[in-house]
Amino acid sequence: MRPTVYDIAAAAGVSLATVDRVLNQRPGVRIVTREKVEAAIRDIGYVRDVAAANLAKGRVYPLVFILPTGDNSFMHGLYAEVRQAMTRSSLERTEIRIVEVPAFDPPALVAALDALHGQDVAGVALVATDAPEVRAAVNRLVDARIPVVTLVSDLTGSARHHYAGVDNIAAGRTAARLLGRFLGGRKGDITVLAGSMLVRDHRERLEGFAALMAAEFPQLRLLPVLEGRDDPEITSGLVSEALAGSNDIIGIYSLGAGNRGLIRALKATGQGRGLTVVAHELTEHTRAALQDGTIDAVLNQDAGHEVRSAVRVLKATADGQGFIAGQERIRLDIFVKDNLP
């Protein structure tokens, strides 16, 4: 049986209150008594429950969320969820702050990560841009014993402690199956719209999408990826140009978050063409597009669950504790016009 504080008190011949003072490094204990308690701890092999001790001391966890700026509706929702987590700080014993960096900008992200060294930080959550210098910056934080969680887009090959996001290869495969089934055997071209191939979640979605398309829907040809950088103006221009330049496009897969620009282009140049469209992230814009038939299906990840998961994992890791993997798994939801929440 695991030794307890009662065993320490009995072995040292002191009160529970004295054991508590020694364990939590409080004043009011004579040196000789403190040495007796510490000797008893060593002799009986007592292992302290760090999480419980931190709770008893009322430890506060300073957490940093590094989030990209830009006109991205999903990221706006992620910001809102982090701010919501801030309102729970007194209950969850956290102090959360947001550090903003330009989207798809590895040097800016590295600078933000490196700036945290020497600060009072219990954990860092970031939307990762997949670049060697970012990976190295994350590893430096982990080497400095600062827990790191990636949000939405992972950074495989790094020493990060956890990824809070969906399985993006599975998401891409799911999108391919939906699009292929919706098209019902038609032959034609598929346009793929991404934010940037610099982020792993976009590359993994494309990987899953292309693999399943090739295996099960060979009559559908994938066109080169359009990179709209999640910017509505850039995205609208790219999609409008693609549709104007080809009558063979019968489907669109939007694997990033540039859906406002996509919707604008579809309404301007794609109406009446019978296009089938699958997109990611349920926002006010994609919800309206589902309702009016501009988009056929939306794959969604719960930003609130991701933020709550990041907070739980960072706190547990800071305490040297494990976490329940099943509780932290982020679900992929599929929405069509008929099952909108």
Taking 80 as the threshold, does the pLDDT of residue 33 lie above it? yes
Taking 60 as the threshold, does the pLDDT of residue 32 lie above it? yes
CB 158 within 8 A of CB 138: yes
Q: What percent of the chain has pLDDT over 70?
A: 95
Q: pLDDT at position 128, please?
A: 96
Taking 80 as the threshold, does the pLDDT of residue 53 lie above it? no
Structure tokens at 39: 């000797």
Integer CA distances (angstroms), 318 to 162, 205, 236, 266, in order: 13, 31, 44, 47
Chain mean pLDDT for the chain: 92
Coil vs helix vs strand at 62: strand
Q: pLDDT at position 23, please?
A: 77
Q: Which of 118, 220, 139 is CA-nearest to residue 178?
A: 220
The residue whose two tokens read 């009446």 is 272
Q: How far apart are CA 152 and CA 124, in angstroms?
A: 14
pLDDT, tens digit, for every residue of 199-252? 999 999 999 999 999 999 999 999 999 999 999 999 999 999 999 999 999 999
Q: Which of 132, 176, 169 is CA-nearest to residue 153?
A: 169
pLDDT, tens digit, for every residue of 78-137? 999 999 999 999 888 999 999 999 999 999 999 999 999 999 999 999 999 999 999 999
Looking at per-residue pLDDT, the higher value among 19 and 275 belongs to: 275
CB 124 within 8 A of CB 146: yes
> Any idea what DSSP says for residue 49?
-
Q: pLDDT at position 48, please?
A: 61
> Any idea what DSSP says for residue 301?
E
Q: pLDDT at position 57, please?
A: 56
